[in-house]
Amino acid sequence: MPVLDVLGIREILPHRYPMLLVDRIEEMDAQHIVGIKNVTANEPFFLGHFPHYPVMPGVLILESMAQVAGVLILKDIPDSKNRPVLLASIKEAKFRKQVVPGDQLRIEMNVLKRRSNVAVMAGVAKVGDTIVAEAEVMCVLSDPVQS
């Protein structure tokens, strides 16, 4: 059983289709989280990103990693939908293998540093046992958004 399904994730993250890039959370504690992104052939980015050779853009793999990190940061924040977590920096990003339709990304993120409104997390994205991407991300909790 997942810790959070997509409906639970939508209660935490403000992202919606086509930018919600996390399908479920499988593990989560105070310092570690594991999320899943199912990569399907009907993803909108495949229409224009090498249409005859569909490859998931690296920047969207990083965005998936940041969203998984965001779930961990926002899970205990009241009114989290109105306090987006913004990506502040990316360090040591590496892409090791292409991600294609039919792959399932397993995203594992670990907290390196955390303060009241800033978190630095490092992680990997895997397909099976193969690391396809890795990075360290800094996320900042924004001020409340006025609706």
Give the tokens for residue 27.
Answer: 């593990």
Examine the residue annotation and report whether 49 is marked as an active-site residue of this protein.
yes
Contacts 24+ apart (CB under 8 A), 17-25: 18/43, 18/44, 18/45, 19/63, 20/67, 21/60, 21/63, 21/64, 21/67, 22/64, 22/67, 22/68, 22/71, 22/107, 25/68, 25/71
A 10 A CB-CB count for 10 gives: 15
Count of Cβ atoms closer than 10 Å to residue 48 Cβ = 8
Helix (H, G, I), strand (E, B) or coil at 26: strand
Of the candidates 15, 32, 49, 52, the residue annotated as catalytic is 49
As annotated, the active-site residues are: 49
